[in-house]
Structure 1
């Protein structure tokens, strides 16, 4: 379903963000990260590398992690977008706090989104699967052990995601 109309180089698109339908006027070249941050004031997804390497911009598209700097906003039409602002009271958030899974915090929202999806889709993930999923994001403060411990605390305690 194409949900946009053309207005002098801009398009009005309709997105489902954190369970709410929103309309936003964009240029066809706008990334989802740009639209979330600059048009919708959802600043949890961070602009790090802008080429898909760091994962600070990770959001969930239909409950799967996607680097929003690599996705055009128009590609998100018809999909469910969840940002860190929409991840309310998720078990992984508490696990990050309990296990000190953050340092400077810049990468934290991206890691939370990846780890939330990991614990949802792989509730019995072993060390290899956890390591594979965590490779999609970078922590410049090297807080990987604490992040991994947070994920393992959810998996080993069979906490409902």
Structure 2
């Protein structure tokens, strides 16, 4: 079971083996966390996305690319459900965290930084987004030793810390 901590900061600066990207189905960059990771990591990440995911990625699934210029060696891309667009199956959100840990295991990653998937522009209610993250990351068997849930705002960091009992 990994040690899970809440971190206030920028996911693109995390010194971990892999960062998780809340991507869109097209896998060609976007806004929010996705845009930040692509900007900070440089064009190599997009080139790898195009090569590895020529037809994109399904909601709830995950795959990896190189980390480009990020401190992390890899980026694990996962496509969260768009609550605002009517994708409200919590199982898809849970699958994002589970599949991301499975990909991390395949890569041999020991430390992974996660954003709160679908909690930004995709509109998943924050309380449930935090619960889904903490519950899933706590229950999935994985070789990952360290999990950071990285929050960009103090409010979100407080919510994650509270859910972790910190």
Fold match, TM over 0.5? no
- Larger RCO, structure (CA 8 Å, separation 6 or more): 2
Q: Provide the TM-score with structure 2 as the length reference.
A: 0.29
Q: Provide the TM-score with structure 1 as the length reference.
A: 0.29
| Structure showing the higher helix proportion among its residues | 2
